[in-house]
């Protein structure tokens, strides 16, 4: 199926739906929306950016797009690590970040009602004084939206005890591709009066409808917690410790793994006491509960089980500060790894815990097996079996890109699927994993997903290119990039495109759209550096709107000095303008 181009008359109609302040056609703006937390493809440029303000506008947009066969891709904060919000077929990016109200907090019924653009951490900050929380805790919680979490069924570091997003969704308001607004699910905790349509939309990655309202179950905050960090020389000993904890019925709220390459990177990054840690495989384990006594009893049992497996080192947090420092070791994985290679790609797959040691060894051997001289791989794992192999390479080096693609092929076809694993536990299929979907599920299941997609979206306008319901498997994701006139003063553009800077940026908050965020400006500078954008008055205006407040520096996982780069860029522009 092909999609129609957006005619001038249609552009005018879309503009009237949202208003001129929320409608964008400029190439520089559309370019910034072609970036996310995954490999960049310069051909995936959307044709139109729309910022609807409510579900009625979403309905009108989808109705018009469906009638005219225009592709529509919903987008939250653009943190997807599988290209879920990128646009290989062009069309409309539906930026839902401004539909962001917390509509109701009902403590009596343990319920909150939110719009899709609400940020996860901001919801929890509002719930905290009420002694409640929304448990799913993805690594991008400071910037990811609740709508995106529902669309991908996000998990996070507390999934071992608290589960994933679907365990907390009670009901949804969804706009279907034909513009109909439907409510599915129920406010009550138990209901079997309909087919379980709600769960069909959770994890559907925006392929069946656009979520515009979400009813969430919330829980009381735990009153106590205790954390330990353990280092093992032998991966089998660590696995056995994790299995024994499960067998004895101990349920940590946090049970995380880091491999030895990652520990070396984190040690080098954090310095201090970490320099005294021996190298090995890390198990980070925490117990939480309703009282200090309960937590101490359970932690003591868990500690005995772990010690029996002979870790070579362990440290128990005795204060809140020590706990935060040990948690930082886990949360510093991306900035630590980003110092080793220009690019990091975090993959996502899930296996049975009994296969853990074998799989980790095979992942460690990937660079050697495929003979990739520059590629490195480090692995993080939520110990319910959700692995995050992280590949380190240079996306501007053609050989590195080829090796990376071979490595991903090998990961899924030779390691994960053969042991009965799955392609994704929480990041989604997106566009990157679409080629592997049939390999995991077989053609009959993929055909069935396609039939479900056709039932809801017969014109296939919603988020085309994602394998759930779309059999057009995208084989080629990377592009060789040509270097043109790269200025010496702007060499450090090692942005991971994670988006952590987006919600803190004053100019993005004011102008609302991606190009005015630090990530957006770096994307534009990236285009200038590689000759894919031409400097013009509009780009100069975007650069000038940066306040140089440096808030983005404080939240950037990779430690990119964005404010310094923008100041230098403005200096270069000023000098070049003065020479005219």
- Assess if residue 514 is contained within a domain: yes
Check residue 370 and give its pLDDT. 97
248 & 180 share domain? no
- Assess if residue 462 is contained within a domain: no
Q: Which two tokens stand for residue 520?
A: 């957006």
Find which of 91-105, 315-329, 533-547 is predicted with most confidence, using mean pLDDT: 91-105
- Assess if residue 433 is contained within a domain: no
Give me the CATH number covering residue 81: 3.30.43.10
Give me the torsion for CA of 122, 126, 128, 134, rounded to 10°: -60
- Assess if residue 471 is contained within a domain: no
Check residue 39 and give its pLDDT. 62
- Assess if residue 457 is contained within a domain: no
Going by C-alpha positions, the residue among 198, 197, 186, 96 that lies closest to residue 148 is 96
22-71 pLDDT, tens digit each: 999 999 999 999 987 766 677 789 999 999 999 999 999 999 999 999 99
- Assess if residue 478 is contained within a domain: no
> What's the domain count of the chain?
5
529 & 564 share domain? yes
Long-range contacts of 548-556 (CB under 8 A, 24+ apart): 549/506, 551/501, 551/504, 551/505, 551/506, 552/501, 552/504, 552/505, 552/518, 554/504, 555/142, 555/500, 555/501, 555/504, 556/335, 556/500, 556/501, 556/518
Q: Are 511 and 434 in contact (CB under 8 A)?
A: no
Check residue 480 and give its pLDDT. 37
370 & 418 share domain? yes
Q: Are 333 and 258 in contact (CB under 8 A)?
A: yes
Question: In 3-state terms, what secondary structure has residue 441?
Answer: helix
Q: Are 14 and 64 in contact (CB under 8 A)?
A: yes
> CB-based contacts of 155: which residues, under 8 Å, 6+ apart?
136, 138, 163, 164, 165, 382, 386, 425, 426
Model confidence at 410, in pLDDT bands (50, 70, 90)?
very high
271 & 352 share domain? no
Going by C-alpha positions, the residue among 94, 117, 38 that lies closest to residue 461 is 94
Check residue 565 and give its pLDDT. 86
Check residue 408 and give its pLDDT. 93
91 & 106 share domain? no
Share of the chain above pLDDT 70, in %: 94
Average pLDDT over residues 142-166: 92
Structural domain that includes position 308: 224-330
Average pLDDT over residues 124-139: 94
Q: Are 470 and 207 in contact (CB under 8 A)?
A: yes
312-341 pLDDT, tens digit each: 999 999 999 999 999 888 888 887 888 888
């Amino acid at each position: 199926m092909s999609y129609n181009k957006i005619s001038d008359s249609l552009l005018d109609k879309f503009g009237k739906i949202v208003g001129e302040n929320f409608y964008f056609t400029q190439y520089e703006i559309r370019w910034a929306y072609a970036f996310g937390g995954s490999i960049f493809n310069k051909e995936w440029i959307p044709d139109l950016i729309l910022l609807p303000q409510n579900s009625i506008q979403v309905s009108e947009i989808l109705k018009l797009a469906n009638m005219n066969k225009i592709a529509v891709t919903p987008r939250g904060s653009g943190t997807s690590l599988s290209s879920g919000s990128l646009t290989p077929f062009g069309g409309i990016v539906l930026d839902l970040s401004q539909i962001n109200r917390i509509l109701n907090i009902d403590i009596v019924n343990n319920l909150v009602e939110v719009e899709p653009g609400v940020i996860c951490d901001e919801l929890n900050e509002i719930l905290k004084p009420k002694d409640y929380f929304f448990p799913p805790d993805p690594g991008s919680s400071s910037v990811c939206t609740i709508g995106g979490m529902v669309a991908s069924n996000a998990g996070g570091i507390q999934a071992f005890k608290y589960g994933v997003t679907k365990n907390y969704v009670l009901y949804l308001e969804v706009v279907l591709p034909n513009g109909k607004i439907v409510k599915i699910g129920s406010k009550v905790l138990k209901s079997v009066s309909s087919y379980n349509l709600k769960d069909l939309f959770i994890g559907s990655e925006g392929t069946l409808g656009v979520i515009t309202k979400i009813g969430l179950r919330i829980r009381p905050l735990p009153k106590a917690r205790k954390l330990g960090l353990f280092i093992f020389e032998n991966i089998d000993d660590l696995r056995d410790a994790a299995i024994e904890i499960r067998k004895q019925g101990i349920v940590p709220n946090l049970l995380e793994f880091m491999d030895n390459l990652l520990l070396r990177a984190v040690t080098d990054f954090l310095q201090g006491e970490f320099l005294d840690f021996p190298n090995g495989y890390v198990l980070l384990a925490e117990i939480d509960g309703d009282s200090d006594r309960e937590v101490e009893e359970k932690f003591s049992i868990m500690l005995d089980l772990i010690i029996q497996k002979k870790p070579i080192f362990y440290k128990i947090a005795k204060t809140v500060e020590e706990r935060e420092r040990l948690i930082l070791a886990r949360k510093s994985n991306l900035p630590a790894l980003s110092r080793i290679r220009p690019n990091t790609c975090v993959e996502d797959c899930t296996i049975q815990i009994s296969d853990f040691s074998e799989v980790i060894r095979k992942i460690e051997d990937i660079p050697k097996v495929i003979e990739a001289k520059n590629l490195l791989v480090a692995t993080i794992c939520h110990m319910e079996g959700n692995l995050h192999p992280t590949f380190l390479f240079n996306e501007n080096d053609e050989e590195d890109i080829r090796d990376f693609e071979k490595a991903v092929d090998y990961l899924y076809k030779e390691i994960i699927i053969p042991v009965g694993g799955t392609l994704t536990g929480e990041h989604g299929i997106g566009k990157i994993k679409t080629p592997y979907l049939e390999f995991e599920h077989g053609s009959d299941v993929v055909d069935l997903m396609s039939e479900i997609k056709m039932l809801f979206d017969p014109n296939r306008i919603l988020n085309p290119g994602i394998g759930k319901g779309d059999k057009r498997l995208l084989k080629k994701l990377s592009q060789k990039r040509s270097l043109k006139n790269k200025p010496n003063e702007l060499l450090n553009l090692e942005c991971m495109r994670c988006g952590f800077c987006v919600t803190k940026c004053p100019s993005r908050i004011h102008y609302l759209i991606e190009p005015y965020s630090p990530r957006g400006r770096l994307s534009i500078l990236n285009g200038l550096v590689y000759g894919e954008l031409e400097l013009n008055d509009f780009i100069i205006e975007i650069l000038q709107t940066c306040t140089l407040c440096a808030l983005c520096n404080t939240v950037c996982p990779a430690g990119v000095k964005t404010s310094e780069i923008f100041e230098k860029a403005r200096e270069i522009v000023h000098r070049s303008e003065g020479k005219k």
